[in-house]
Structure 1
Amino acid sequence: MVKFSLVGKYILVKNNIFCPDYNSMSISNWRGTVIKIINSSNGPLLLIKWDSNTIESMPYDYINDSKNKKLNYHYMYLKFDKILEYKKSNC
């Protein structure tokens, strides 16, 4: 079970992790803050709000496609095993 103490924590996506919706797009080393945790049939999912540096480095095609589909590219759900807790001072 994922601890709810992760809410509000700054995280880093582990190496060799790809976007759940765009399997060819690496999201390794993306950074953000855990906003909430939800239970799903596949286990807990963490809602991540990406930081400004991550948003600025996102591929244009991903942002454009998200906008066209009326999706918010500032956020993403990820499984707990895809992230590491990270200290902002390490940025």
Structure 2
Amino acid sequence: MITSEKIKIYAHYYGDSDMWARRAKSSEKAILSNDWYLIGSLIQEIELVNKGLASEKFTLNLKKHLIESCDNQETIRQLESLLAMNK
């Protein structure tokens, strides 16, 4: 489950998995290890939808996946805000 805490850690390392692997504290790795790549994947999928490159079915499936993967709407909003970081 993606939480605000996990997004903060992800953002702290700018979504750079190599930097995270080398510099993250063991406590940060324990919190985020299972969801690091899920966050990155969801960001990519959100970007596809935002750029109009996704089908309606893909968009609906993404919305469902976000609801299932995130603990609340604020977390989804924070996840969407990470798009600016990837540019």
- Would the TM-score normalized by the shorter structure come out above 0.5? no
Higher helix fraction: Structure 1 or Structure 2?
A: 2
Structure with larger RCO (C-alpha < 8 A, sep 6+): 2
TM-score, scaled to structure 1: 0.30
Higher fraction of strand: 1
